[in-house]
Structure 1
Amino acid sequence: MSDVVKRQDVPKDQQWKLEDLFASQQAWDQEYQTVKDQLGKVSAYHGKLTDAASVKACFSLEDEISLHTERLYVYANMRHHEDTAEPTYQALSEKSKKLSVDVNETLSFITPEILSLSDAQLDQFINDPELSKYKFTLTEMKREKAHVLSKAEEALLAQVGNISQAPNTIYGMINNADMKFPKVKDEKGVERELTHGSYITFLESDNAEVRRNAFKAVYETYGKQKNTIAATLSANVTKNIFYARARKYPSVLEMSLYGDNIPKEVYSNLIDTIHEHLPLMHRYMNLRKKLLKVDELHMYDLFAPLVDEFKMDITYDEAKKMVLESLHPLGDDYLNNLKNGFDDGWIDVHENEGKRSGAYSWGAYGTHPYVLLNHKENLNSMFTLAHEMGHALHSFYSDTNLEYRDAQYTIFLAEVASTLNEALLMNYMLKKAENDPKMKMYLLTYYADQFRTTVFRQTMFAEFEKIIHERAEQGDALTPQELSKIYYDLNVQYYGKDMVIDKEIEMEWARIPHFYTSFYVYKYATGFSAATSFSKQILEEGAPAVDRYLGFLKSGGSDYSINILKKAGVDMSSPQPIREAMDVFKKLIEDMEQLTSK
């Protein structure tokens, strides 16, 4: 018997209030019809976007349609996520997806039509007071113009779009459908299924043999497919080079950073500054070796528990209370909005039958944000609550301070507010654990591992992507041997001499799906570093730093990401924020070493 409740049995005060978006199904249907009617008006602007008045009217209609569509889409899908087996909302979700496709197609002529104008005319629009609301949009369009091709060439590139999905699709099929791992014995000698999902559970075992056998089984299986997977990764790199050259970018890296207008230095600074601080990572590995009491530390020991599992039973009410107390440094305004979020139906709290797994923050402009949780009474769930409410408050401040199209912030900024909340919660928890060495050690290892996985490991991935693209751009072939050598050497460099770099790890590149969304992973490391830098400033400076940080939350996407952060006191084009994050990491290691020596 399942002890998971059915949706209709979930208490109202533990459910989000989607009625704040649409009071009834009838209200949703009416808004759906409104969008359908508005779409009919769009064609009046075809070929007419040549003067400020027409552009303004067209943008205004585009905003209206986009906002209504977003509301319809978000509501339908959040209803669907409450119970994914419920047919009414399955259908509503599909209906909203179809509408989104129609809307995108109908509005797709706007950008190319404006970009067909001369630079002089675009400049005129950018400086026209009548279009001041759209100044950033028009500036962005002009910036992109350098890489937009003729109508015929764009049509041709659009047709290549489906083919360009092939490397990712084929890799997904090999990795998710065709890849079969052997069975592995668990601690009790029972043969268990080894899957993508269970692999980490095996690596977290306190039995070294279980860890080693799972590790070897996974990489031997990838090794058997190395030629095929090297071909898919190489094809993905070739596709990237094709687009970069077709669109006249100096390199794939610069093409990937162009969308968010991120200078190339941000990427190279991250790698260079992490290289500077690799001795800290090596010191952490040395400490790991001591704590695990092993003669040799292997790659399969990275997830092994360093301290006995510290059970913390934290109810949802206690989690809310601790999150509120930990975010005290952010001031009354932030705390009041956070309390409203807790009390006013923003959050869907517990698991129920059919509910979507995981956690997220979502919503639509004009209504408060929403958070989906599947809360368990443990430390991890409390950190998830702090994390998702960080996203929610970022959206809340952006939406309440900005016009619709300026409120949407980029992925580059998205993880900063969520990770900052986690950093402040960790700081609060460590203070609470001052007289409890077991709890303190548990928290320190939890936090240090976040640095290892989010900053060091993602930077190593980012460096691997940079190297393989540069080699391919110079005309080198990306053979499985070449890919494995590059990857193995990076592991040697990043983990240091206290780690036995097992031969099998050279195949790890083959199991990282992120390499098919090129030059994306660096954002995890920069976001984490920016958040750590913010938390350090807030805890050390107080009010002035809080004001800058709230300014960041209120800026949404009203300027380029790098400028928004810079105004708030975090300059990602310099090594400073990463160095500040490394100072925090260093202090964690010192505290752990101190506890170990007692």
Structure 2
Amino acid sequence: MVKSLPARSAVPVEETWDLSSLISSSPDFNQQLEDLEQQAEAINEKFQGTIIDTESITQVLTAYMRFMEKMVLLSTHANLTASTDQTNDEAQLQASKFGATAAKIGSQLSFITSELLALPTETLEQAMEESTEFRVFLKKLLRKKPYQLHPEAEKSLAAYSSTFSAPYGLYNTTKMSDIDFEDFEVNGQKYPLSYGSFEGDWEAETNTELRRAAFDAFSKKLKEYQQTTAKTYDMQLQTEKTTADLRGYDSIFDYLLFNQEVDRTLYDRQIDLITTELAPHMRKYAKLLQKVHGLDRMTFADLKISLDPSYEPEITVAESKQYIDDALSIMGPDYLEMVDRSYSERWIDFAQNKGKSTGAFCSSPYGDHPYILISWTGRMNEVFVLAHELGHAGHFYHAHQEQNIFNGRPSLYFIEAPSTMNEMLVANHLLKNSADPKFKRWVISSIVARTYYHNFVTHLLEAAYQRKVYERIDAGQSVNAGILNSIKRGVLEDFWGDTVEINDGAELTWMRQPHYYMGLYPYTYSAGLTISTQVSKRILKEGQPAVDEWLEVLKAGGTKNPVELAQMAGVDITSEQPLRDTIAYIGELIDELVNLTEEIEAD
């Protein structure tokens, strides 16, 4: 039964992450922040107006690189501390203080980019030839030359950076601090409700009456905050539109896709093909859920239930490690050592507590190890969630060993490939080790419900909704709660057809997702999973040679664009074939679920 969440202070320390390698104490944080300000001033005084040739380019970039290595550790500490408890005033004030200082620093150091881009292209190209360390950084910088503003304008924009990121902070404050869910009642008994308990437990609750009542109560409370949340989101959208226009991009899409290093065709293809061609497969899956559970009707509130709840074993944190070790052993001893350290050195925050950010994420600061946030409920499917986040950790763990801070992070388009790859490896390992039909059905349904539903359906429908929103914004319009609800409901109805009843409250799903404050992020989940599905098939078929190639991809970090990284792994994403193959594979998995269910029910 779902319990009320404890305060952060009441959580056992062994369930929390250890942030001491980032920073040791709050006074130390303030001192380090002050030191950073002074170092930024020193860089400004020493280098502003001096960047004139290849030698001075190397000198200023070396100083800037060392500075950023220090700054990212402090930034990570501020963000991670705030993410574990949105009700902690001290942590929130610390994060705000860092944001304000970072904006001031960004303004002081904006001259670096401005002066570099003011140089003749030939000088920058010569610097790229002479310095392998900064070659990729300068190559990416050159792409921005057509969109660079006057140095004073760049300085002003940088000074406002914390203001521009304010909508995301406001969204989190509304979501995690202001919204207070009351208990909901079913048949005279009260049950506790929170963001974490709804998304971690009630959505998958097997008792239909409880599950639907939780959905209704959750939606009713969300609705009270829809106008504020919509206004916050519109602030984000208008800021992005203004920036795109100021910099001279043809559209807001071109602006948001620029740093992803992919063009609009790859973005649109991902949304259009999945929306049309995956829908029939997922409708078949929804009908299977309805049949197995004997539901009177299939509603949006029923889509997250397990196909076989009786085969959803409880699992402890300690037990999860053995599953993950066994599944990821194919990646080699260095990779497994990282996994072992993540448990033994407390890189992972497992605790459930009030005010903690929902979902799961991995933060990988350069110069330190990765950190993973997850709220562990003990469900077996969380092995997949943890493996996913360890995929991000393994990616940056390898990339940061090989690359400098400028080259470590690849395009957002590619970022979800290593994470979803680990989910596929877990699934393949589990399938290989049992012939029992019930266990096979549980594993395959976990792949469909967790890996593919979450990444190919949930995030893809977010992307389809997001594209419609941005089309409005690009046309000079704005949005409010009514418009957002209408767009979201339309996207859901188009995908699910008459198979799933889009009940009241489903249209408010847009309020739950922080990804909308991160540009065109949601569609990249399916893009990454398309790549990892194809590579995991190669690993199953070819073994070690395919693994070795994948490890080289991880080490490459951001030195190549998404098309080149996928090519390194043997996947051609310039064609639609990998996506079509992946959609067909999902269809095969669902067909196998239908067959296994018939086999089990016939016994």
TM-score, with structure 2 as normaliser: 0.81
Give, in whole Å, the separation in 2 of the partners of 1:158 and 1:521.
26
Query: Helix, strand or coil: the match of 1:520?
Result: coil
SS state at 2:311 partner: coil
Q: Which amino acid aligns with 1:211?
A: R
Give the structure 2 partner of residue 46 of structure 1: 48
User: Are 1:458 and 2:459 counterparts?
Assistant: yes
Report the more deviating stretch, 201-210 or 462-471: 201-210
Distance 1:584 1:333 in 2: 31
- Secondary structure, in 3 states, of the residue corresponding to 1:294? coil
- Structure 2: how far apart are the matches of 1:88 and 1:486? 38
Q: Give the structure 2 partner of residue 442 of structure 1.
A: 442
Alignment of 1:33-182 (within 5 A): 39=40, 41-42=42-43, 43-71=45-73, 104-127=106-129, 129=130, 131-154=131-154, 157=157, 164=164
- CA offset at residue 306 of structure 1? 3.0
Cα distance between partner residues in 1 of 2:58 and 2:407: 15
Matched residue, 1:570 = 571
Q: Is the 8 A contact 2:271 2:523 kept in 1?
A: no
Cα deviation 1:303-351 (Å, max 9, x = unaligned): 234323435354555433332322243356645x447646974746875
**Distance in 2 between the 1:554 and 1:184 partners?**
49
> For residues 577 and 211 of structure 1, do their structure 2 counterparts lie closer, same or farther at Cα, with a shift above 3 Å needed?
same
Q: What amino acid is aligned across from residue 416 of structure 1 in structure 2? A: A
* 1:414 partner SS: coil
What letter is aligned with 2:189?
A: V
Please state how far the C-alpha of 1:301 moved relative to its aligned partner: 1.4
In the aligned structure 2, how far is the partner of 1:25 from the partner of 1:587? 53
Q: Match for residue 190 of structure 2?
A: 191
Return closer, same or farther for 1:124/1:311 CA change in 2, 3 Å cut-off: closer
* Structure 1 position 240 matched with structure 2 position 230: no
List alignment gaps of at least 5 residues for structure 1.
none
RMSD between superposed Cα atoms in Å? 4.5
* SS, match of residue 390 in structure 1: helix
Is the deviation greater in 455-464 or in 19-28? 19-28
Asked whether the 8 Å contact 1:465–1:518 carries over to 2, the reply is: no
**Alpha-carbon distance between aligned partners in 1 of 2:26 and 2:180, rounded to the nearest angstrom:** 45
Q: Which residue of 2 aligns with 1:549?
A: 550
> Does structure 2 retain, via aligned residues, the 8 Å contact 1:203–1:211?
yes
The alpha carbon displacement at 1:171 in A equals: 5.5
* Equivalent runs, 1:166-565 vs 2, <5 Å: 184-186=184-186, 188-192=187-191, 194-200=193-199, 201-219=201-219, 232-274=232-274, 275-314=276-315, 318-331=319-332, 334-335=335-336, 337-338=337-338, 341=341, 345=345, 347=347, 361-362=362-363, 364-365=365-366, 369=370, 379-435=380-436, 437-450=437-450, 451-474=452-475, 478=479, 482-502=483-503, 504-565=505-566
1:378-399 deviation per Cα after TM superposition (whole angstroms, max 9, x unaligned) = 5245334433432332223212
Alpha-carbon distance in 2 for matches of 1:220, 1:354: 20
CA contact (8 A) 2:307 2:445 kept: yes
- Taking the aligned partners of 2:402 and 2:146, their CA distance within structure 1 comes to 32
CA contact (8 A) 1:265 1:573 kept: no
Measure how far apart 1:511 and its partner are. 4.8
In 2, the alpha carbon distance for the partners of 1:484 and 1:91 equals 33
Deviation at 1:104, TM superposition (A): 4.2
**1:553-578 CA deviation, whole Å, 9 max, x = no partner?**
11011222342223222333432333
CA gap 1:326/1:198 in 2 versus in 1, 3 angstroms: closer
Q: Distance in 1 between matches of 2:512 and 2:344?
A: 42
String of CA shifts for 1:507-557, please: whole Å, max 9, x gaps. Answer: 444554433444221122222332222212211222332222111111011
Deviates more, 1:443-452 or 1:115-124: 115-124
Taking structure 1 as reference, are residues 138 and 489 closer, same or farther at Cα in structure 2, changes over 3 Å only? same
Query: Does the Cα contact within 8 Å between 1:533 and 1:578 map onto a contact in 2?
Result: no
Q: Which residue type is aligned with residue 237 of structure 1?
A: L
* Aligned match of 1:596: 597
CA contact (8 A) 2:456 2:525 kept: yes
Contact 1:203 / 1:210 at 8 angstroms: preserved in 2? no
Higher CA-based Rg: 1
Letter in structure 2 aligned against 1:467: K
Cα 1:354–1:363 change in 2 (3 A) is farther
Q: Kindly state the Cα deviation for residue 123 of structure 1 after the two structures are TM-superposed.
A: 3.5
In 2 relative to 1, CA 299–367 (structure 1 residues): closer, same or farther, beyond 3 Å? closer
Secondary structure, counterpart of 1:295 in structure 2: coil
User: 3-state DSSP class of the match of 1:185?
Assistant: strand
Q: 1:359 to 1:512 in 2, by over 3 A?
A: closer
Shift of 1:176: 5.4
Q: Distance in 1 between matches of 2:178 and 2:342?
A: 44
Residue 444 of structure 1: CA displacement? 2.6
Give SS of 2:406's match.
helix
The structure-2 alpha-carbon separation of the partners of 1:93 and 1:548, relative to structure 1 and needing over 3 Å to count, comes to same
Pick closer, same or farther for the CA change 1:271–1:439 going to 2, 3 Å: same
C-alpha separation in 1, matches of 2:224 and 2:304: 25
Q: For residues 41 and 480 of structure 2, what CA distance do their matches in structure 1 show?
A: 53
Residue 497 (structure 1) shift: 2.7
Q: Percent identity?
A: 27
- Deviation, 1:456, is 1.3
Are the equivalent residues in 2 in contact too, given 1:83–1:356 (CA < 8 A)?
Answer: yes
Moved more, 100-109 or 253-262: 100-109
1:143, CA displacement in angstroms? 0.9
- Residues 545-554 or 515-524, more deviating: 515-524
**Matched-pair contact (CA < 8 Å) for 2:206–2:309:** no
1:112 CA drift (Å): 1.6
Kindly indicate whether the alpha-carbon contact (under 8 Å) linking 1:269 and 1:573 is maintained by their aligned counterparts in 2: no
Which stretch has the larger CA shift, 390-399 or 272-281? 390-399
Deviations, residues 404-425 of structure 1 (Å, cap 9, x unaligned): 4322344443332222112111
What amino acid sits opposite 1:466 in the alignment? R
Question: Unpaired runs of 5+ in structure 2?
Answer: none
Return 380-389 or 396-405, whichever deviates more.
380-389
**d(CA) in 2 for partners of 1:3, 1:471:** 42
CA contact 2:415–2:524 (8 Å) conserved in 1: no
Structure-2 change in CA distance of 1:393 and 1:310 (3 Å): same
Where 1:250 maps in the other structure, the secondary structure is coil
Distance 1:484 1:408, change over 3 A: closer
Q: 1:256 & 1:465 partners in 2: Cα distance?
A: 12
Q: Which moved more, 1:201-210 or 1:221-230?
A: 221-230
- Give, in angstroms, the shift of residue 106 of structure 1: 4.4
